[in-house]
Structures are given as structure tokens and as C-alpha cells.
């Protein structure tokens, strides 16, 4: 008698068997967990910048995409730009939003929690007295960021926050942004 | 005898008179310096996310673009994604790169330093033992980020670092990422 082929267990679009295989592989060979992510940026004049993301290092070797992803940035006219793309501090919010969501979705999948839909909004405060060097007590960056998640998932109301907390607990960008990262900068002549 | 019309002083593509007019306006009415930047994100399933950046608050009122900027994110296949877009931690590097470059260029313009070209590369280390909850001593986010700037500018060699330091001194994303930002997160049912 024929038996049905075993189907991969997919939760929230994530192949959970692949996820646990990755964990087993790292337990067996810890060095493959070390990743290096990279971008290259070129100034396009005035307020405009273009980055490419392609190669990264992971699982013990160099990895690359078929072609680089191109990321643009500009500033709105009010901030002396041409408003052709989102600005750097909006890109930072996108990095945070996508990382919180993906981290929540992956960790929910690993726990068998089914998520049907996620929407979120992000708002951060910047006082230009900092950037423009008009008041040394005002920081240059975001003074605070507020995040609102709306989630449709198969959990009772009192566990909804716990699902969203999977994002804040495991997100690399949330950790980087809330706890800070050491950044070293070198300069040479082009 | 006719006199030539006064041309705006443009340095590095930045209208420096507009920059100083902005500073004067903020000195006269400090409240207009308060900005709120925003994005909205929607999960597209599995590892895919899409944000839109459109409205922001600045100069005392709501501002919006003719149409929203759309920002995508995914993960490479090795991280269980479909590799259709840069991933969140690459977007974070783009935010940092574009902000450091723009901040350097604006502050150089204000000082009359002409910059001809800027290229930069960014690399950050992430150990998946953190994200995958395999070792509580390993952080989830970037352990460190290395930045290399190459700049063509009308300054002597020994002042090149000072020009790049205008970026690290004034960049909102550099400040946010190196010093950390408080992020509050709420959750409700969709």
C-alpha cells in the first residue's frame, strides 16, 4: 500500500524543518553561525545616495546574489533634497519594521503559532537643533521611536503581546538600535 | 550699467543660503525644528515585508509626498527567504551609509569645503547563536560595524579625517545606532 510522501511542515510561510535543520547544523559546527553583512554606498551629489547590497559571508563562505539589490536615499525638499527616495531615518524605520516582523514570524513558526496578517506603524522624533548644531543638549538622532503592531494570529487576546515580544526579543535590528553598536570609521583619499 | 543677478551659493549640490535660512528660521521659531518621521509596514508572508514612507511632520505641520516610497525586505535562501530584496540588517547599513554621507556633505557645504566624490563600504558582524537563542551570551544584533570612506575633496591629506568626522558628529542614524534609542512597542489584534 502506497504511503503519502511526507510534506515539509510550513508555518507562516517558513519551512520549520529547514529552520530546525539550520539550528542542528550550527550546534554541530558553531563557526557557520558567523555572518558578515555588507553594503557599498556611492554619493550621487547633494542629498542623494545609492547603496548596493550583494555579497555577504555566512555558513563558512562568501555568498552572493545573482545581481545586487539597489537602495536609494534622498531628502525631502524641506530638508534641501530632491525627494526622489525615502530619507536615511525613514530607511532606519524600515530596517526596524522588517526585522521585528520577520523575527516575530520565524520564532512564532518555531513554536507552531500561526500568524495570518501583520501590519505595523513606526514614528520617531528628531529635533533638528541637534543635527544643525544649535543646541548641544539635543541629540542628533531619534529621541524615541513608537511602534504599533496589529497582528492576526491563532492565540488568545492575553497572549498577543507575547507574540509581538518574540520580535523585540530576537530581532537583530531592534537589539542593535536599542542597545547600540560599536561603529569604527576610517577615511582615505579617493 | 546692468549688474549680474546674484546666484545662489551652491556647495556640494546644497544651496547653502537655504541651509542658513533654515537655521535662522529655527532660531526665530524653535518649535519648527521638531520632526516626526514615519513608515507603515505590511507583512507579505514568510520572510517578506513591505514598508511605505510618505507623511512626516516638520516645520510645524504635516508634510506628504505626491506618492509613497515603497521599501521591500526579504531574506536570502540561506536564511529561509526568497531573496527578492535586501534583508533588514542590510537596510540598516544603507540607512547608516546614506546618513553619514549626507551629514558630511551638508556640514562640509556649510563650511565651504567642496567634496567631489564619496564612496564607502560597510560591514557588520552577526552571530546567529543570538537570533536562534542558542547562546544567551551572544547578542542578537550587530556585534560591530566597520566603515571605510573614500573621499575626493579640496582639503589637505591631514584634514580628510576631519571631513569624514563631520558625518559621524552630526549624522542622526550614526547617533541613533551607536548610542541607542528608546523604542516603545504596543500590540493589538488586527
ipTM confidence: 0.96
Whole-angstrom CA distances from A133 to A30, A63, B107, B172 are 46, 41, 10, 12
Q: Are A22 and A109 in contact (CB under 8 A)?
A: no
Q: What percent of chain B has pLDDT over 70?
A: 96
Beta strand B69-73 pairing with B61-63: unpaired
Verify whether the Cβ–Cβ distance A141 to B181 is below 8 Å: yes
pLDDT at B6: 65
Q: Which chain A residues are within 8 Å of B62, Cβ to Cβ? A: none
* CA–CA dist B70, B48 (Å, integer): 13
Please tell me what DSSP assigns to residue B99.
H
Q: Which helix (H) or strand (E) holds A176?
A: helix A172-179
Q: Tell me the three-class secondary structure of B128-149, residue by residue.
A: HHHHCCCCCCCCCCCCEEEEEE
Verify whether the Cβ–Cβ distance B65 to A83 is below 8 Å: yes
Q: How confident is the model at residue B11 (pLDDT cuts 50, 70, 90)?
A: very high
* CA–CA dist B38, A159 (Å, integer): 27
Residue B13 region by backbone torsions, left for phi larger than 0, else alpha for psi between -120 and 50, else beta? left
The tens digit of pLDDT for each residue in B69-115 reads: 999 999 999 999 999 999 999 999 999 999 999 999 999 999 999 99
Q: How confident is the model at residue B3 (pLDDT cuts 50, 70, 90)?
A: low
Verify whether the Cβ–Cβ distance B47 to A133 is below 8 Å: no
Average pLDDT for residues A60-85, to the nearest whole number?
A: 97
Average pLDDT for residues A132-156, to the nearest whole number?
A: 97
Task: Please name the residue of chain B whose CA is at the shortest distance from the CA of residue A145.
Answer: B183
Nearest to A101 by CA among B178, B125, B70, B75: B75
Distance from CA of B1 to the nearest CA of A (A): 34
Per-position DSSP letters for A7-32, written without gaps between them? PP-EETTEEHHHHHHHHHHHHH-GGG
Per-position DSSP letters for A42-91, written without gaps between them? EE-STT-EEEEE--EEETTEEE--SS-EEEEE---GGGTS--SS--HHHH
pLDDT at A79: 97
Q: Which chain A residues are within 8 Å of B184, Cβ to Cβ? A: 144-147
Task: Give the 3-state secondary structure of residue B65.
Answer: coil
pLDDT at B51: 98
Amino acid at each position: 500500500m502506497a504511503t503519502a510522501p511526507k510534506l515539509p511542515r510550513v508555518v507562516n510561510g517558513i519551512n520549520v524543518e529547514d529552520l530546525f535543520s539550520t539550528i542542528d547544523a550550527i550546534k554541530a559546527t558553531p563557526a557557520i553561525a558567523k555572518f558578515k553583512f555588507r553594503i557599498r554606498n556611492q554619493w550621487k551629489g547633494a542629498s542623494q545616495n545609492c547603496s548596493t547590497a550583494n555579497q555577504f559571508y555566512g555558513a563558512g563562505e562568501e555568498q552572493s546574489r545573482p545581481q545586487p539589490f539597489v537602495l536609494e536615499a534622498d531628502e525631502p525638499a524641506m530638508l534641501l533634497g530632491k525627494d526622489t527616495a525615502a530619507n536615511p531615518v525613514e530607511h532606519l524605520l524600515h530596517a526596524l519594521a522588517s526585522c521585528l516582523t520577520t523575527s516575530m514570524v520565524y520564532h512564532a513558526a518555531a513554536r507552531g503559532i500561526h500568524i495570518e496578517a501583520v501590519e505595523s506603524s513606526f514614528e520617531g522624533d528628531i529635533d533638528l537643533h541637534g543635527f544643525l548644531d544649535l543646541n548641544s543638549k539635543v541629540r542628533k538622532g531619534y529621541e524615541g521611536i513608537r511602534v504599533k503592531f496589529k497582528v492576526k494570529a491563532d492565540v488568545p487576546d492575553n497572549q498577543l503581546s507575547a507574540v509581538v515580544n518574540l520580535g523585540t526579543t530576537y530581532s537583530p535590528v531592534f537589539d542593535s538600535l536599542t542597545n547600540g553598536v560599536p561603529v569604527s570609521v576610517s577615511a582615505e583619499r579617493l
